[in-house]
Structure 1
């Protein structure tokens, strides 16, 4: 037991150091630089070196006690910055995945709706071009008996995927990528993923759960980068070079969020398609062969909560609680 607790403590310390303190220390150093140089002397490194030298030679920094206090203050500030970035990461993830965007405040909801309409229009045009290319390839095959060049078809397909994998329903690519899993499973197998998933999660193998958990954690880490980008954006009010850091971190976060969302969506869809029949067996639903719409209807009917029944009007007396 003692060895387990020691190992757990080491892992927590490593996680605390990696996720909070080290990125936070870099942010604190950047904030000190921003406060020291300001906008007027943004690139004056000599000024920064001179200021650091003055701090080093102060009486407080010369003694052991002062150094301990300074180190503790830096670590506390770094941890606080890390916690703030983690909090912003939650907002970033909610904004990027855009779950329930219809319930956002009015102005945000209006902007999100405009993005959905715009993305849907672009996707429809791209999907139409892809379908036209498919039809042209089919006519060429019927006319010549040979397959047409695949490059135009692939280009049209990837142009559609760059907008969304299914018809857009959310204002962001990552949100639509995960939402597409629900759309596909409902269309192909009549599976209601929100109703199915809690039960499916308890029945899939441990290796599958580990892969999905890893993908979910990667998505959270990518969102944390977005939180740091927002933190560095705040520093631009005092030091304009922070905008370069914010832009670099923000672009990296955008790329990683998209990759993580795509991986997470693929694993969710694969788990549902592969293990729906196993869940049906555990629930006592008779079925043979692969998952089909009939099985999806049976699973959805059994797992989806029924509408609440209204009680008949009371004829009087004390209310029932």
Structure 2
């Protein structure tokens, strides 16, 4: 039992140090640099070194008690900054994934609605272009028997156009946009795909499916979801660095670089999580059916999806007529 608590304590300390203290300490160092140098001496390294030397000669920093107090203050400040980033990350994630954007307050909801409409129009145009090119390719293949066949160069050009049109559509969204951001639609596309292909209502079935997943599948999903949370936390740090620009202009490119990295990591981790989520559903849906005593053989079918959705859907009580 003592070994368990010792391992748990070490893991908690490691997570506290990695997620809160280290990023927070770097933030405090940047804030101190911004306050010391300012705009006028933004890149004056000798000035910064001189200031650090002066601080280290302060009587408080030269005594054991003062060093302990100083270290405690730094750790507390770093942890506080880390907690602020974690709190802001939850807001960033909610805005990025936007599962409930239709319930947002009116100004935010209007912005999200315009963004969703813009993405929907762009996707529809790209989707139409892609299918027109596919139809033209099918017509060209059908006409090969009555007309001179396309040359290799013509087929290569047509294939490149179809690929470019498909990539343009995919950059907007894999499915018809219903949410204001690419990441939010990427996760929504999983629900759309399993509903179309297997008649499965994911919000109803997923909690039950999670309980029957093998441990490796759960671990993979948890790891992917944690990566998404870390990516949104990185974006949150960019917002915290932005106010330092008022005192130190290099904070602006630093904030922009962190934001760009967070944005790219968010898209990548969202895509990875969505792919893993859909694969897990398709691979383990029959396991859930077996656990529920629903007979089925072979790959998941729309009939199985209908059965599971109906079986797991909680029916509302009948109205009380008395």
TM-score where L is the length of structure 2:
0.93
Cα deviations by residue, 1:157-187 (Å, 9 ceiling, x for unpaired): 1111100010101100000000001111111
Shift in Å, 1:192: 0.3
Residues 46-195 of structure 1 mapped to structure 2, 5 A cutoff: 46-144=46-144, 148-149=155-156, 150-195=159-204
Corresponding residue number in structure 1 for 2:213: 204
Corresponding residue number in structure 2 for 1:219: 228
Cα distance in 2, alignment partners of residues 159 and 241 from structure 1: 35
Cα distance in 2, alignment partners of residues 282 and 56 from structure 1: 66
- Say which SS state the counterpart of residue 240 (structure 1) adopts: coil
Task: Could you tell me which runs of 5 or more consecutive residues in structure 2 were left unpaired when the two chains were aligned.
Answer: none
Shift in Å, 1:40: 2.8
**Are 1:270 and 2:279 counterparts?**
yes
Range with bigger deviation, 119-128 or 6-15: 6-15
**Are 1:16 and 2:25 counterparts?**
no
Cα deviations by residue, 1:91-134 (Å, 9 ceiling, x for unpaired): 11111001100111111111000000000000001111111111
Corresponding residue number in structure 2 for 1:287: 296
Shift in Å, 1:298: 0.7
Range with bigger deviation, 169-178 or 125-134: 125-134
Range with bigger deviation, 303-312 or 122-131: 303-312
- Say which SS state the counterpart of residue 71 (structure 1) adopts: helix
- Say which SS state the counterpart of residue 236 (structure 1) adopts: helix
Cα distance in 1, alignment partners of residues 57 and 27 from structure 2: 24
Residues 280-319 of structure 1 mapped to structure 2, 5 A cutoff: 280-313=289-322
Range with bigger deviation, 16-25 or 56-65: 56-65
- Say which SS state the counterpart of residue 170 (structure 1) adopts: coil
CA root-mean-square deviation: 1.5
Corresponding residue number in structure 2 for 1:318: none
Instruction: Show structure 1 runs of 4+ deviating over 6 A.
Output: none
Range with bigger deviation, 56-65 or 123-132: 56-65
Cα distance in 2, alignment partners of residues 309 and 13 from structure 1: 52
Cα distance in 1, alignment partners of residues 246 and 313 from structure 2: 51
Range with bigger deviation, 228-237 or 146-155: 146-155
**Are 1:239 and 2:248 counterparts?**
yes
Shift in Å, 1:152: 2.2
Cα deviations by residue, 1:58-102 (Å, 9 ceiling, x for unpaired): 111121111111111111111111111111111111110011001
Shift in Å, 1:202: 0.7
Range with bigger deviation, 13-22 or 132-141: 132-141
Cα distance in 2, alignment partners of residues 51 and 108 from structure 1: 45
Shift in Å, 1:252: 0.6
**Are 1:230 and 2:239 counterparts?**
yes
Cα distance in 2, alignment partners of residues 13 and 206 from structure 1: 25
- Say which SS state the counterpart of residue 246 (structure 2) adopts: coil
Range with bigger deviation, 109-118 or 140-149: 140-149
Cα distance in 1, alignment partners of residues 37 and 105 from structure 2: 39
Shift in Å, 1:238: 2.0
- Tell me the matched-pair count: 313
Shift in Å, 1:245: 0.9
